[in-house]
Amino acid sequence: MWSISELKEKGKTAFKGNYWKCVLVSLILVIITAGSAGGSSSSTSQQAQNAQQPMTEEQIAIIGAILVAACVFLVIWTIIKIFLLNPVEVGCHNFFKNNLFDQNVTLSEIKAAFGPNYKRSVGTIFLRDLFILLWMLLLIIPGIVKSYSYAMVPYLIIDEPELSATEIITRSREMMNGNKWRAFLLDLSFIGWILLTIITCGIVGIFWTNPYMYSTRAALYQELRKGSAEQ
């Protein structure tokens, strides 16, 4: 049975042994995972004014143009996310996994999902994100729980090339059975570093917290994989 302190020590050792590469790869991962969040909001005062006064044809044309531009941007971003960023995400997690045992691992690991595993990477991460989104639409808590169930998906894509997208997701769920709560506690153990990241406007996160957490999550994967192999 794995312990939080042991995993964090493994993650810290691997991260410190290849510091700058881990910082760069973690920054890429943060950009990928955070880039999907965003949007624009309209002014409530302007809405109130529009409710009192009928819009002119010029205003309607401007609003229509903004909506069209937003839709085009959303479509372009979705295409980039699915076909480019999803495989990069898989490669970044593969880097942290390999960095646990090889301090000479190179940044070329980021491209690991662009070979024979490309289609599986694109399809599997798309399905994972879709399933999490659907669960989030039901309730936030089930969505968070499912995100832990699917946490091992990016690693399995490379390590289990014979599995289909749905089989990889199922495999991740099986690995996380009985481990989701402890994995949550593992993440929660970084709360001090997360608070420091917020206080420093993300600086501590870039140079310590994020690569430390990604390295520790990779150590969790290795531990769960080893445990499942022994069963």
Low-confidence ranges of the chain (pLDDT < 50): 38-51
Q: How far is CA 162 from the centre of its chain?
A: 23
Least Cα distance to 83 among 29, 117, 121, 40 occurs for 121
Distance CA 152, CA 91 (A): 13
Distance CA 112, CA 88 (A): 8
The upper half-sphere exposure of residue 137, i.e. CA atoms within 13 Å in the direction of its Cβ, equals 6
Distance CA 150, CA 169 (A): 6
Distance CA 167, CA 205 (A): 34
Distance CA 161, CA 167 (A): 11
pLDDT at 49: 44
Least Cα distance to 27 among 214, 218, 155 occurs for 214
pLDDT at 85: 94
Q: How distant, in Å, are the alpha carbons of 27, 79, 154, 184 from that of 112?
A: 18, 20, 11, 28
| Angle, vertex CA 99, rays to CA 192 and CA 127, nearest 5 | 80
Q: How distant, in Å, are the alpha carbons of 23, 28, 55 from that of 6?
A: 21, 26, 63
pLDDT at 230: 61
pLDDT in tens, 179-226: 999 999 999 999 999 999 999 999 999 999 999 999 999 999 999 998
**Phi, psi (rounded to 5 degrees) for 178:** 80, 0
Distance CA 46, CA 43 (A): 5
Least Cα distance to 127 among 157, 162, 166, 88 occurs for 166
Q: How distant, in Å, are the alpha carbons of 86, 106, 111, 227 from that of 15?
A: 23, 13, 20, 23
Q: Give the pTM.
A: 0.87
Cβ atoms of 89 and 33 within 8 Å: the answer is yes
